Structure 1
Amino acid sequence: MDNQDKPVEKKKLSLNVVSGKEHRGFGAGSIDLSQVACVIIDAGEAYIDVGAMHAKSKIEKGIRFSPDKSTVPNGRPAWVVWVAVDRGENGSYYAGATSCEMLVDTEARRGWKLLPEHVNRLDAAIKRKYMLDNIGPAEKEALRKLLVEHNEEWWNNSPQTLKDLLA
């Protein structure tokens, strides 16, 4: 069997998730997502949904999203909140939190969200920023409750800035 008979294997591109290692090879500059959690806020309830990292959360499955808000006139508001966790001298804490709005019409299987906003806000959370300007008091309360219940020590170690944003 010569080389002409062998199937050619192509290298597949994928998102490389790297941890604290110095990395300069193929895929350098990849984003470390190991310390980011995905929270969904829907109908006043906040819950962790790891599927949101790949737009496959419970409420996103089976929904065709458009960047045109007018295509979802009966959509209910929901949010993806990217929460970054870091470790300081007192232990782990909620180091970044950014919210992204979307509309979901489950019955019509249509939705609205702006993918660039989701990417930019994920990046902001990774960079340890808090951007929760597009959620209301009920959503803030639900998020605060979830963060406290998930790990009260992390909440207690978190900066006052986050606590004030969710007060």
Structure 2
Amino acid sequence: MSSDQSSNKKKNSFTIIKDDSTDGHGGYGVGAISLENMSSVIVDPNENKAYVDMGAMHARSEVERRVKWLPDRNEVPNGKLYWIVWVNVARGENGPYYSGVTGCEIRVDREIRRAYKSMGQHVKHMEKSLKGHIIVDHMDEHSKNLLRDFLIDFNSDMWENSTDELKESLPL
């Protein structure tokens, strides 16, 4: 696969902006929360990478599969750290931008097939991302750097169009 094909494949896997379902037709779904402009980015500080895995939208990302989820972090003491980052995209006067970016911790121990995540935090942060909030302060610096580099690499124009709050939360 050429680098152009690889680049196109990467860009096609990220939800950018879909048609506005509230375009005035007044039909079914008007006023409902839409996840159409949201993508889930997995930040893996263990492997120094970040990537889109839309399976996380339904708790079925690759890192979430084949483990039993526990609500107590202490029950997964050797779990590897991952972040599921909910990234929402909106369109501003200069074009699309990263409008909501919220990170949620998960810990996965493949050896014992157990993992930790706070379902309440995931739901809350997904909703906050939809509303345009930036919540990444609780992430470790290495993971924040991986996330920032991924967002810039994915689309530098969307990064440039993003708020100062996002750029200050994920500084260069």
Q: Could you state the TM-score of these two structures normalised by the residue count of structure 2?
A: 0.81
Residue 150 of structure 1 deviates from its aligned partner by 0.7
Q: Structure 1 residues 116, 28: CA separation in 2 closer, same or farther (over 3 Å shift)?
A: farther
Residue 45 of structure 1 deviates from its aligned partner by 1.6
**Per-residue deviation, residues 81-134 of structure 1 (Å, max 9, x unmatched):** 000100011000000100001111112111000101100000000000000022
Tell me, what secondary structure is at the counterpart of 1:47?
Answer: strand
Could you list the runs of 4 or more consecutive aligned residues of structure 1 that deviate by over 4 angstroms after TM superposition?
21-25
Q: Counterparts in 2 of 1:45-56, with a 5 A limit?
A: 45-56=49-60
Identify, as 1 or 2, the structure richer in helix. Answer: 2
For the 8 Å contact 1:51–1:57, the answer to whether it is kept is yes
Q: Equivalents in 2 of 1:141, 1:51: separation in Å?
A: 23
**Per-residue deviation, residues 23-70 of structure 1 (Å, max 9, x unmatched):** 575x66532000001001112321111001001111001111110112
Give the one of 19, 26, 34 matched to 2:36.
Answer: 34
- Percent sequence identity over matched residues? 41
Gaps of 5+ in 1: 1-17
Q: Equivalents in 1 of 2:145, 2:97: separation in Å?
A: 18
Q: Aligned AA for 1:56?
A: R
For the 8 Å contact 1:77–1:101, the answer to whether it is kept is yes
Q: Equivalents in 2 of 1:57, 1:19: separation in Å?
A: 26
Rg bigger for which structure?
1
Who is 2:67 aligned against? 63
Total equivalences in the alignment: 149
Root-mean-square deviation (CA), in Å? 1.6
For the 8 Å contact 2:86–2:103, the answer to whether it is kept is yes
| 1:117 and 2:121 are equivalent in the alignment | yes
Q: Aligned AA for 1:136?
A: D
Gaps of 5+ in 2: 1-19
Q: Equivalents in 1 of 2:168, 2:73: separation in Å?
A: 31
Q: Could you state the TM-score of these two structures normalised by the residue count of structure 1?
A: 0.83
